[in-house]
Structure 1
Amino acid sequence: MSLILAMDASSSACSAALLRRQNGDDEIISRFELTPREHTRKLMPMIDEVLAEAGVKASELDAVCYGRGPGSFTGLRIAAGVAQGLAYGLGRPLIGVSTLQALALGGFLRHQYRYLFTALDARMNEVYAAAWHIRENRPVALMEEAVLPPERLKFPKGHDDHDWVGLGSGWSLWDAMPAEVQAGLGLCLTDVDPAAADMAVLAADAFDAGDIQCPHDVQPVYLRDQVAWKKAR
């Protein structure tokens, strides 16, 4: 059995989840709330709630996970700080999970979409984007995660004829996206955010595979360099 605590503050949503995996079956207890600018106040109570509901002490955890990005600069720092603090204090490994991959997994688990183009609003007229294909019930990347203007979005080479679904806040910049991308999307959902429950599943996979790291080795993924300087501009 493995117990994974996951948390995310990378978007307008704040979430925490406790996953118990036993004999290949996952039991997940989670909290999810849209709380813009309240992540600092909400995250720790959510963590306490999922642990209490599961009847699990923090000392029983096997690993800690957080949404490593891309996403909100401030939100990523909040989740990273809490996750690293817990992992250090408990002497447990820390697993960083892609927010874009978690978004894709959620689209598959809840709606069975198999070709997913995830995009999050990166502000400054850019989006964080990646494309995924579901294989063996998990999202496999068809392109590297990138930050770019919406007008530069394109389907992965050789995969433009699939029934694509767009997920995430980045698709709110629809009018700026290329006509071929608009024509190739069968469905577009902008009101979905990454969730700790989906991150916990990916983290449990990584833990089972031995793909774990020490807390100090896991860093947020911003994709954009010099974030603070660019915002000041």
Structure 2
Amino acid sequence: MRLLALDSSAASCSVALWDDGKKEIGSPVVAHHCKFMDRGQSEALIPMVDSVMEEAGWAFGDLDRLGVTVGPGSFTGVRIGLAAARGLALARGLSLVGVTSLEAIALEARAEDGNKDTAVPDTLFVALSAGRSDLYFQIFSRNEDVESAFPWQAASSPGAAMLEDVPGQLPQKGLVLIAGNGAPLIRHVLATEKRAAGPGHQIIYAGGPGLPDAAAVAVIAAGREPETFGSEPVPLYVHSHYARLPQGRMKEVAP
């Protein structure tokens, strides 16, 4: 299967091509471009798609599936990615798979250098900046399905909270890995408030930019069943008061 993945949901823009026929000889991600940007995704996304297709020597007729982030994230960025993916899927008759931005961050979460020898985390807390001193967040637990390409399973629905309220949302036992670009903010709050983990409770932090990336979207989308015809992915907005779309076209999750 050959798949094109797109992400423009946060402070970056990325595209990736996946070919599961390459698994045995190397990485199935055969081309990948990423740019960090707060705005300008609408101008950058399609040229990046053209660039990776040219790099891989693929034509759009070679694709079998598309993957795209559905949010939460930037209202405009989420819609840019979804609009591009829907347009390509419709024009080429391709199936389309939605992946949340928090899932994409979770897949690539790795403990920072100082904690690489720590045991496998019991839970993962993904925090993505939502602006206005808010964070999107979701808790994941270990996926017991060893055959799954996604090592985590959702232990909560995506939520949103003000930064100062996030410590109260953290798991209170076991080894907790905090990932996403909101992790440094949480670390600062915990240090400022001098909150110490209790017995049997340890918090470590992931390294890297902590943003969703199309390479992770490709991995997840390749292992997930596509949406049925007529029920393509819709935006996931955690803050329903930030954006309003026609009834039935917005998926809302209460904080």
Superposed displacement of residue 7, structure 1: 0.5
Task: Please give the TM-score of this superposition, normalised by the length of structure 1.
Answer: 0.84
* Change over 3 Å in CA distance of 1:224–1:212 after alignment to 2: same
Could you say which structure has the higher helix fraction?
1
Superposed displacement of residue 42, structure 1: 1.2
Task: Give the aligned partner of residue 130 of structure 2.
Answer: 122
Match of 2:87 among 85, 88, 92: 85
Match of 2:182 among 149, 155, 170: 170
Using the aligned pairs only, state the percent identity: 28
Counterpart code for 2:74:
S
For residues 129-173 of structure 1, give each alpha carbon's deviation from its aligned partner in whole angstroms, at most 9, with x where no partner exists. Answer: 0122343352211221111223333234xxx33222211122343
Partner of 2:126, secondary structure, is strand
Q: How many residues align?
A: 222
Task: Give the aligned partner of residue 197 of structure 1.
Answer: 215
Structure 1, unaligned runs of 5 or more: none
Task: Give the aligned partner of residue 248 of structure 2.
Answer: none
Check the 8 A contact 1:8/1:196 in 2, yes or no. Answer: yes
Deviates more, 1:8-17 or 1:38-47: 38-47
Check the 8 A contact 2:8/2:80 in 1, yes or no. Answer: yes
Superposed displacement of residue 204, structure 1: 0.2
RMSD: 2.8
Check the 8 A contact 1:170/1:190 in 2, yes or no. Answer: no
Question: Following the alignment from structure 2 to structure 1, what is the Cα–Cα distance between the partners of residues 142 and 170?
Answer: 16
Match of 1:148 among 157, 161, 164: 161
Counterpart code for 2:185:
L
Structure 2, unaligned runs of 5 or more: 245-255
Partner of 2:53, secondary structure, is helix
Question: Following the alignment from structure 2 to structure 1, what is the Cα–Cα distance between the partners of residues 185 and 112?
Answer: 24
Task: Give the aligned partner of residue 205 of structure 2.
Answer: 187
Question: Following the alignment from structure 2 to structure 1, what is the Cα–Cα distance between the partners of residues 21 and 134?
Answer: 41
Match of 2:56 among 50, 54, 77: 54
Partner of 1:47, secondary structure, is helix
Task: Please give the TM-score of this superposition, normalised by the length of structure 2.
Answer: 0.77
Counterpart code for 2:28:
E
Question: Following the alignment from structure 2 to structure 1, what is the Cα–Cα distance between the partners of residues 100 and 93?
Answer: 23
* Change over 3 Å in CA distance of 1:216–1:109 after alignment to 2: farther
Bigger radius of gyration: 2
Counterpart code for 2:34:
F
Check the 8 A contact 1:131/1:142 in 2, yes or no. Answer: yes
Question: Following the alignment from structure 2 to structure 1, what is the Cα–Cα distance between the partners of residues 111 and 90?
Answer: 32
